[in-house]
Amino acid sequence: MSQETALYDAFMGYSESVGERLVQLHAAFLDGRLDVDDFIDRASLLVGQAQARMYALADASLSAFITVETATAVPTLGIVAPDESGRLRDGLRTLLAVVDPEAPALRVARYGRSEAAGAFQDGYSTAMRERPEVGGYRRVLNTSACELCVWLWRGGYVYPSGKSFHRHTGCGCHPEPVLR
Ligand SMILES: [Zn+2]
Ligand SMILES: [Zn+2]
DSSP 92-125: HHHHHHHS-TTS-HHHHHHHHHHHHHHHHHHHHH
Return d(Cα 138, Cα 153) in angstroms, integer: 7
Query: Judging by DSSP bridges, how do beta strands 174-179 and 159-160 pair with one another?
Result: unpaired
How buried is 93 (Cβ within 10 angstroms: 0-12 exposed, 13-18 middle, 19+ buried)?
A: middle
**C-alpha of residue 146 to centroid of ligand 1, in Å:** 4
Mean pLDDT across the stretch 122-129? 98
Q: What count of Cα atoms within 13 Å lies in the side-chain half-sphere of residue 151?
A: 5
List Cβ neighbours of 123 (8 Å cut-off, separation of 6 or more): 54, 55, 56, 57, 58, 59, 79, 81
Reported as a single tens digit per residue, the pLDDT across 12-66 is: 999 999 999 999 999 999 999 999 999 999 999 999 999 999 999 999 999 999 9
pLDDT, the chain, mean: 96
Average pLDDT on 129-136 reads 96
List C-alpha distances in Å: 106 to 29, 52, 70, 74, 79.
Answer: 16, 24, 42, 40, 31
Instruction: Give residue 9 CA to ligand 2 midpoint distance, Å.
Output: 14
Query: How sure is the predictor about 127, in pLDDT bands with cuts at 50, 70 and 90?
Result: very high
What is the C-alpha separation between 129 and 143, in angstroms, rounded? 27
Q: How far is the CA of 80 from the centre of ligand 2 (A)?
A: 23
Q: What is the pLDDT of residue 28?
A: 98
- 8 A C-beta contact, residue 85 and residue 48: yes
Quick check: 1 pLDDT over 70? no
Residue type, 8: Y
How many A from CA of 150 to the centre of ligand 2?
Answer: 8
Residue 84 pLDDT more than 80? yes
